[in-house]
Structure 1
Amino acid sequence: MNTVTFKGAWESAVGRHADRPFLIFRAESGEVSEWTYEEFDVVVERAAGALRAAGVGPGVPVHVVLRNCPAFVALWLAVARLGAWMVPADPASSARDIAGQVSRVRPVVGVCASAREEVYRSGAGERVPTVLVLAEDAGVVDGGPLADADADAVRAAETVRPEDRLAVMFTSGTTAQPKGVVLTQANYAHVATVMAEAAHLRPHHRWHVTLPLFHANAQYYCFAPAIAVGASVALSATFSASRWVAHARELKATHASLFAAPVRMVLARTASDEQPLDLEHVWFAQSLGAEHYERFARLVGTRPRQLYGMTETVAIVCADAGARPVHDVIGTPVTDRRIRVIDPVSRSEAAPDTPGELHVLGTPGRDLFAGYLDDEQATARAFATGSEGTWFATGDLVIRDTDGVLRFTGRVDDVIKVAGENVSLTEVEAAVAQAPGVLEAAVVGVSDPVRDRVPVAYVVARDPDAPPRAEDLDAWAARNLAPAARPRAWHLIDELPRTSVGKVRRFRVGS
């Protein structure tokens, strides 16, 4: 079987693991449904038939605005089979968001949930020729637009090439507005094998997926590698911080992947008498404070490993592979990844223990994204092609020690100069989130007539009825942070502005 395309990877998995469980779906009601690889392939065929009947074929875009559900997975794999491409979007998108997406990608088919049909049609207007309206439950694949389609219409294999576009994924937009990341069949096939190896995944393993499917983490790090080895995925319709541990146990998960923000939510909402899990492997992204890390490690039954990757890098760049993983290390490059750390000012290689921008060597359309949608200037700024290949400038700052181990310090514009000293806002946030009475925090840099820039903290109280006092937080910061890193002001807010996967949109804090 051809496994250099994602279409081929899925068909190979069905052939080799037909009777093994593939998808276990936990609906919001608590009902659990299950499909083997062979059973779900029938669902994929029907979904492909529905899309083909609506005019979808090679090179045609499909706009998918659904939360986690079997239909999302079926449509993704059906699009791959047809040689078309998918534009997954936040199911909570406003009509304005939808209008902007539709104008950029001009889909032939839009897919939305019945509960959001009015919003979708309001945004799409007449620019989407066909809108498929689905229920976001397990039954949608047994009845409705997907189940009624003629699967025989797509039995004959489409000619799909590795370089064919498979998706355009909009970035989270934590520091700016989202860009459309173009991804190929080869990108998904490659990430499947690399991430399976990185997580030591085997057929008997099962991912616990609660992050949204329209985002890279669930697709790249969980579903794609499961398909590569014939493992299974336990998909939840929604994320529940208070029930995350119980659901992982109920669904017999062995592996999990989360961002730091959801981890902190789980820690804050899990009952103190909850029985710990016994997971084999946990990925997490974005540094945790040491206290939070140790508590979460005890809760999941293994020491989580921090990874580093972006939508644009497809597979991760590096991960903590140490014998005893720690809270603030993103480790060393995985497999054949090559990197460099560049001083933002001199543009030369940064010295050890000095912050520098992370650059990743690769091939666009294979182990790097193919480019930004209809934005040649942004693509040109991100890529630098030389004799070694193509370097991608991530925009993220890291520190590499003398042993080559990397530590993430934030985005290039997340590090401020305070009286000549570099301060990582990301690191200050991780620390402040552990302060007494604080549930979570965002830290921004503001102008200061004496120190140039200084950090200012926006905090959400753990108990809204008994919020922390600014003077107590000042005293805590004096004991736990370097002078330059101490917030000069504390603002209490009800909640932080976030992306759909829990990342803080710092550029909207305080606005």
Structure 2
Amino acid sequence: MSTEETLSNLLHETRRFEPPAELAESANVKAEVYARAAGDREAFWAEAAERLTWAEPWTRVLDDDNAPFYQWFTGGKLNAAYNCVDRHVEAGLGDRVAIHWVGEPVDDKRTITYTDLQREVAQAANTYAAMGVGSGDCVAIYMPMIPEAIVAMLAAARIGAIHTVVFGGFSAEALAARVEDCGAKLIVTADGGWRRGAHSALKPTVDEAIEKLGDRGKVSNVLVVRRTGQDIDWNADLDVWWHDSVATASTEHTPEAFDAEHPLYVMYTSGTTGKPKGIKHTTGGYLTQAAYTHWAQFDLKPDTDVYWCTADIGWVTGHSYIVYGPLANGVTQVLYEGTPDAPERGRWWKIIEEYKVSLFYTAPTAIRSFMKQGDAIPAACDLSSLRVLGSVGEPINPEAYVWYKTVIGGGAPVIDTWWQTETGATMMTPLPGVTAAKPGSAMGAFPGITVDVVDDEGNSVPNGSGGYLVVTSPWPSMLRTIWGDDQRYVDTYWARFKAQGYYFAGDGAKKDEDGDIWVLGRVDDVMNVSGHRLSTTEIESALVSHPYVAEAAVVGATDPDTGQAVVAYVILRESAPGDCERELSDHVRKEIGPIAKPKRIMVVPELPKTRSGKIMRRLLRDLAEGRGVGDTTTLADSSIMELIAAGKAAATDE
């Protein structure tokens, strides 16, 4: 079966949302930007790079002599931390609030100006240097969502050290593997953090990871922030308190300019098995695209906007759209430590009301969980300050999009962004002052980016067809390689469409009749049912569009008759009646077609998710095929799989 035929049974979305007239009139970027960027991509990105401060100018915008090992702004030199902090202070903005920090305990708050941030980053940089950390060394960061985590990243960038941030929910084994792979000399951590009203231990996990590394480890110091005050073991040969070192260090530090291609950080992709896959990002091109996309896609007015991205800094969204992009733009932003419903439902909406957040960026899984709670909770808060909403992490269901836009945003435009750890920054999104957006679609490429949907041979598919999502030319914030494994980089991302020179994103997508692009999720999540390849994302969207369903996850399970069968796991809204599975199955048949009708629908209390909010469909597939529950260490709540498995057993018994 050809790719053009594989995704033909598709949901059809007819709703359109034009940009608000007032926003469109004063938008940072207008429609002409697309033609200008297409006319001369290198000139477009050079202009974007000039928004930064460079110590030395570049001699060449794009060096493509050794594809796919592309380089950007070669010969140029800059310092990422200087661009994110010092230059704003020098411009007279030192008193501007950089971070409104909100801890999970209700009264735990701090306000940090750019002058405050500059002083603490300088102190941390001096502390790193005193510990023997220098340019090219690696610093591992394993932290809760506290301001010191951002300081730890910027301090590394300031001295040319490479940071790797490991999500604070990962196990000691996962931490050890990453620390070993990048050869970290220093680990920055905290005694613990707050999570759902309790202390979540971090330092003990670091201790266990160092023990697992043994002679393979290069860690010479562990720098520890006292956050919770919980009891921890102390190794006087390794451990240093932040308040005894950073807080007492000199606030004077002169940042050094580094080459545009100097490594900035290594980010290990989530869900890796075996040897971790470290995505290497460099400085000049990455900072250019992270800053420009943030400014353009949120229509950022740094003098008046208050921005909030709910991601964790342990993921790439936190790197690009909490730390580097926003701070390079001189933003005032909210940083929140805890979970959305701790200590009460509606905590996020109260924070938006208190700080008058105007730009809000979160994940579809969070949006769907709030839909489940109903409209009354957000309605109790004043959310009128919101003017642009963003979605990130996975395709957003159209119904979740519309709920987000109307109930949370009061009609504010929604930017549905598509990008990856590997791409470093946004690649596709509607622009809030330009695009007539379609709910559930990332629409098209960001200005200066070129993407397409192609068939197995790399040919562009016609409108109305599906295929593979590719990036057809290099972009500034692209990964440069996989840390320590250039061949794996080539094989993973460039080998499939080598003849065309396309980057293969690993995602399936479709073009609608207008040529707008709909991302369908990982190609591994496409099911083959009786010779028809169906997207799990679209069946999930069909289920969520039913008023009984709050959230859904769909997998393909081996079936002797059809090759694979559609198995759906659904969370019902509180208003849903019992025994509605047949109605839901018929609804999918009506929305997509008979071939997509689930063979089984299981009502579950929750779905297995990582702490970043990604649904672990692999576990659901294993369960549907009778393999039992596998490794659940990366789940936010490992007991969920036990509850789902128990429900499956009960259903089987009946």
Q: CA deviation at 1:50?
A: 1.8
Residue identity over aligned pairs, in percent, reads 24
**Matched residues in 2 for 1:437 and 1:175: separation?**
36
Helix, strand or coil: the match of 2:259?
coil
Aligned partners of 1:289 and 1:327 also within 8 Å: yes
Pick 1 or 2: higher relative contact order, CA cutoff 8 A, min separation 6. Answer: 2
The one of 123, 137, 140 equivalent to 1:46 is: 123
Corresponding residue of 2:390: 283
- Report which of the two has the higher share of strand: 1
1:15 partner letter: E
Q: CA deviation at 1:404?
A: 3.4
Is the aligned partner of 1:15 residue 2:15? Answer: no
Corresponding residue of 2:101: 25
**Cα–Cα, structure 1 residues 468 and 320, in superposed 2: closer, same or farther, change >3 Å?**
farther
The one of 301, 305, 312 equivalent to 2:415 is: 305
1:26 partner letter: V
Q: CA deviation at 1:136?
A: 3.9
**Matched residues in 1 for 2:555 and 2:541: separation?**
13
Post-superposition Cα deviations, 1:296-327, rounded to whole Å, max 9, x if no partner, equal: 21222213121111111112111123544232
Aligned partners of 1:383 and 1:390 also within 8 Å: no
Post-superposition Cα deviations, 1:398-426, rounded to whole Å, max 9, x if no partner, equal: 22245432111121122222223231001
Is the aligned partner of 1:504 residue 2:610? Answer: no
**Equivalent residue runs for 1:85-104 within 5 Å:** 85-104=162-181
Corresponding residue of 2:380: 274
2:442 partner letter: I
Is the aligned partner of 1:337 residue 2:449? Answer: yes
The one of 474, 478, 481 equivalent to 1:368 is: 478
**Equivalent residue runs for 1:388-403 within 5 Å:** 391-401=502-512, 403=514
Unaligned runs of 5+ in 2: 1-52, 56-77, 193-201, 230-239, 624-628, 630-654
**Cα–Cα, structure 1 residues 84 and 476, in superposed 2: closer, same or farther, change >3 Å?**
same
**Cα–Cα, structure 1 residues 323 and 136, in superposed 2: closer, same or farther, change >3 Å?**
same
**Cα–Cα, structure 1 residues 353 and 493, in superposed 2: closer, same or farther, change >3 Å?**
same
Range moving further from structure 2, 267-276 or 425-434: 267-276
Corresponding residue of 1:202: 301
**Cα–Cα, structure 1 residues 137 and 182, in superposed 2: closer, same or farther, change >3 Å?**
farther
Q: CA deviation at 1:371?
A: 1.4
2:399 partner letter: E
Corresponding residue of 2:54: 2
Range moving further from structure 2, 463-472 or 14-23: 463-472
Helix, strand or coil: the match of 1:398?
strand
TM-score normalised by L of structure 1: 0.90
Is the aligned partner of 1:225 residue 2:320? Answer: no
The one of 134, 138, 159 equivalent to 1:61 is: 138
Corresponding residue of 1:490: 601
Unaligned runs of 5+ in 1: none
Post-superposition Cα deviations, 1:489-511, rounded to whole Å, max 9, x if no partner, equal: 12344432223220112122224
**Cα–Cα, structure 1 residues 390 and 113, in superposed 2: closer, same or farther, change >3 Å?**
farther
The one of 503, 516, 529 equivalent to 1:405 is: 516
**Matched residues in 1 for 2:116 and 2:579: separation?**
53
Corresponding residue of 1:295: 403
**Matched residues in 1 for 2:128 and 2:87: separation?**
22
Post-superposition Cα deviations, 1:371-405, rounded to whole Å, max 9, x if no partner, equal: 11223333112444999996321011122245432
Q: CA deviation at 1:229?
A: 2.5
Aligned partners of 1:276 and 1:300 also within 8 Å: no
Corresponding residue of 1:70: 147
Q: CA deviation at 1:141?
A: 11
The one of 248, 267, 276 equivalent to 1:169 is: 267
**Matched residues in 1 for 2:280 and 2:109: separation?**
34
* Pairs aligned (count): 506
**Matched residues in 2 for 1:64 and 1:390: separation?**
35
**Matched residues in 2 for 1:231 and 1:389: separation?**
40
**Cα–Cα, structure 1 residues 21 and 388, in superposed 2: closer, same or farther, change >3 Å?**
farther
Is the aligned partner of 1:131 residue 2:217? Answer: no
Q: CA RMSD, aligned part only?
A: 2.9
Corresponding residue of 1:264: 368
Aligned partners of 1:282 and 1:304 also within 8 Å: yes
Q: CA deviation at 1:210?
A: 2.2
TM-score normalised by L of structure 2: 0.72
Corresponding residue of 1:121: 207
**Matched residues in 2 for 1:416 and 1:465: separation?**
28
**Cα–Cα, structure 1 residues 43 and 195, in superposed 2: closer, same or farther, change >3 Å?**
same
Q: CA deviation at 1:288?
A: 3.1
Range moving further from structure 2, 475-484 or 189-198: 475-484
Corresponding residue of 2:440: 328
Aligned partners of 2:167 and 2:313 also within 8 Å: no
Post-superposition Cα deviations, 1:471-499, rounded to whole Å, max 9, x if no partner, equal: 44334434444212221112344432223
**Matched residues in 2 for 1:26 and 1:89: separation?**
21
**Matched residues in 2 for 1:19 and 1:149: separation?**
22
Corresponding residue of 1:319: 429
Post-superposition Cα deviations, 1:339-364, rounded to whole Å, max 9, x if no partner, equal: 23221x33322222211212214547
Helix, strand or coil: the match of 2:246?
coil
